[in-house]
Amino acid sequence: MPLVIITGFPKSGKTKRAEQLKKWVLENKGKFVWGQNLDKVVLLNEEFLNINKDLYNNSNDEKKVRGALVGAVERYLNKKTLVICDSMNYIKGIRYQMYCIARSIGTLQCVVHICTSSENCSKFNSIDNTYDNETLKNLISRYEEPNEFNRWDKPLFNVQVDDLDIPCEKIMKCLFEKEAPLPNLSTISVSSIFFIEKKPAMDNVKNIDQTIQKATKTVLERLKDDPLIQKIDIENASIPVLLNGNRVTLIEMKRHQHQFMKLYNHLLTSNMDDQTALNSFVEYLNSQFK
């Protein structure tokens, strides 16, 4: 079943919209073909996971909260369960991770952006003081608004604070009347690799490893020659590496290389050639540098 990612400023009314969507789906699923395969709807948020929002006051604890939410999406999302992730989802990297999780199991996702002003959020927060004032300001200042031109942020539905309801039927139609894209190396979640039985032959692993090492070396050499370079062509790759303003270090490149090969060892079958693996590596790097 698809994934609905709710995003917006803290105290923007996200939970109200998530509950409206869940209620509509449960009341109307019998009218649609997709409802025949829907067993349940899970609304994931900090309350569901018993997470105290005071944890957002500390950056290290904040990272743990984000990790817990992403992990929960990965646990609950399956072919029979519609997941509504009701949280700020304020960093584009988090939304990208969720996009990858959905694609890895062959389903679709969409983003519902709850639009309101920071002044309104401060006003709502003053009622129950869910967040410390400084924490609220900090979270709002770091919010990365979804962009419909990013594949992980589309389809994108913008809901205004004074809208009576959200376009539930349009959202469901969009999610169930399109064919889900096939997973690829840059979108397969790490935890799902253990469910795939096929593993590549050792000779093929060695060849791919050498190809990826060569590509990594090329990137590092070009960065050494020109630290401000933004586009790096890789020999035999059909697409370039796009850095998008990122200052990539040796350690970071080695980490990406190691992570890609970890995925490769679990995911690729022995009939994948060097060319395909190389292009997949470049796509993987570009997804990390978005």
Q: How many CA atoms lie within 13 A of 262 on its CB side?
A: 13
Spatial CA neighbour of 188 closest among 111, 264, 130: 264
Q: How far apart (Å, rounded) are the C-alpha atoms in residues 161 and 163?
A: 6
**Residue-level pLDDT at 276:** 80
Name the CATH superfamily for 3-176.
P-loop containing nucleotide triphosphate hydrolases (3.40.50.300)
Q: How far apart (Å, rounded) are the C-alpha atoms in residues 23 and 201?
A: 49
Give per-residue pLDDT as tens, 97-107: 898 888 878 88
pLDDT exceeds cutoff 50 at 192: no
Give per-residue pLDDT as tens, 230-272: 899 999 888 899 988 888 888 888 888 888 877 666 554 445 6
**Residue-level pLDDT at 191:** 40
Mean pLDDT of the chain: 84
pTM for the full predicted model: 0.65
CA distances from 6 to 127, 145, 244 (A): 22, 12, 26
Give per-residue pLDDT as tens, 127-184: 999 999 999 999 999 999 999 888 889 899 999 988 888 999 999 988 887 655 545 5
pLDDT exceeds cutoff 90 at 79: no
In a 10 Å sphere around its CB, with 0-12 CB exposed, 13-18 middle and 19+ buried, how is residue 194 labelled?
exposed
pLDDT exceeds cutoff 50 at 189: no
Domain borders along the chain are 3-176, 190-288
